[in-house]
Structure formats: structure tokens, C-alpha cells
Amino acid sequence: MKRRRFRTNLRILLRRPRVFLRAYRWALAFLLLAAAADAASTIPDIGTLGYDIETHPAMRFMMRAFGPLWGCILGKAVQVAIAVTVASLWRTWCPWLLWLCGLTYFLAAVSNTFRLL
């Protein structure tokens, strides 16, 4: 029986990032814009509600280590890096995972802005 190789974009992301950026430019642009909106809408809530409003461990750790502003920015950068790395593991699902993660960040920004949850 012939062994099938696991198809991944991780090698492309690590060795030729420009190819990865060109291939998924719209999904990555939406992901970055939505992540920036989520971070911008999270920062004011941290001052009023405290660090415990954030459920993601990377965000909470960074905010406690670097303060509310820089911690939120660095924590969001870690989240986006993890999301891109995990999405790149599945070649066929990569664009859909990036769009879905961007949509999640967008909905989180809307929820933070209008205090829905």
C-alpha cells in the first residue's frame, strides 16, 4: 500500500512566506483587520472590567506581564500567529480556517463594542 503524504502549508509558510501571503492575502487581510478591531475594542474594557474579562490564556498572561495596552497588542499578535500556524497545517482548509478565525475576531469586536455578552 502506498503511503500518502500529509499535505500542509506549514513548509510554505516557513520557507517562502511571500508565496503564502500571496495565496491567502484576502483571508489574512480580513484576519488582521478583525484582530485589530478586537484588540481595539478589548483595551477599554480592560480598564473598567479588569484582566479577567479575557478568556484566552495568551491574552491574559500578556496583559498581566506587560500591562493592558501592550499586553493586549502582544497577546493578539500571539493569537494571530497561532491561528495562522494552525490553519497552515491543513492545505485544503487553510483559507476557510483563516476566514473563520477572522469572523470570530470580528464578532468578538462587535460584542465588545456593544457589550452583548
- What mean pLDDT, rounded, does the chain reach? 89
- Average pLDDT rounded to a whole number, residues 51-59: 81
More confident residue, 37 or 67: 37
- Judge whether 38 lies within some domain: yes
Torsions phi, psi for 3 (to 5 deg): -85, 130
pTM of the predicted model as reported, rounded to 2 decimal places: 0.88
Within a domain: 28: yes
Dist CA 92 CA 58 (whole Å): 27
Least confident range of 58-62, 91-95, 105-109: 58-62
What is the span of the domain harbouring residue 39? Answer: 10-114
Say how many domains are in the chain: 1
1 within a domain of the structure (yes/no)? no
Is residue 5 one of the residues assigned to a domain? Answer: no
Choose between 26 and 90: higher pLDDT: 26
User: How far apart (Å, rounded) are the C-alpha atoms in residues 56 and 115?
Assistant: 18
Residue 50: inside a domain: yes
d(CA 33, CA 99): 11
Q: Specify if 2 maps to a domain.
A: no
Residue 68 lies in a domain: yes
What confidence tier does 103 reach under pLDDT thresholds 50, 70, 90? Answer: very high
DSSP 115: T
Asked, for residue 4, whether it belongs to a domain, the answer is: no
